[in-house]
Amino acid sequence: MLLCPLNQAAPMLHMHITNTGKISLPVTNLIYIQATGNYSWLHWNDGQRILMPRTLKFYESQLSAGWFVRTHRKCLINLHYIERMQAYYPANRGGLIYLRSGEVLPVSRRRWVAIRAIYKQLPKATRYVPTAQA
């Protein structure tokens, strides 16, 4: 998997929200997406959460693989917001991802090795956390 360099223009996520219409937001501001049935909660770096009527599979196909990784059947995480990873013991049971936002999310045992390898490829200098806009 190739990681997206941060000096490139950030891809945009296009959404239709009932009360505001169509909007496009840069994926650099999206921390993670969490599935709830056929809906998804989008968690943004300004603390905002938006419930969208789309599946996680839809977002997985729309978002660049260099920015996001599926960690669990219910979670898609922006690689640039990962602070650290911690394995369960024994190590073949998956682990946890600690995000810079303070949240902790699970990693399935089947995805642990691949995600750990991707995380180790990500240089610390590219672990980008944009500031929340007021």
Provide the 10 A C-beta neighbour count for residue 106. Answer: 17
Give the pLDDT band of residue 76 (cuts 50, 70, 90).
very high
What is the per-residue pLDDT across 118-133, written as a single tens digit (0 to 9) for each? 888 887 655 555 554 4
Give the pLDDT band of residue 4 (cuts 50, 70, 90).
very low
- CATH number of this structure's domain 12-126, picked from the four choices 3.40.190.10, 3.30.2010.10, 3.40.50.2300, 2.40.50.1020: 2.40.50.1020
- Residue ranges of domains in the chain: 12-126
What is the per-residue pLDDT across 15-36, written as a single tens digit (0 to 9) for each? 656 566 677 777 888 999 999 9
Global pTM value: 0.79
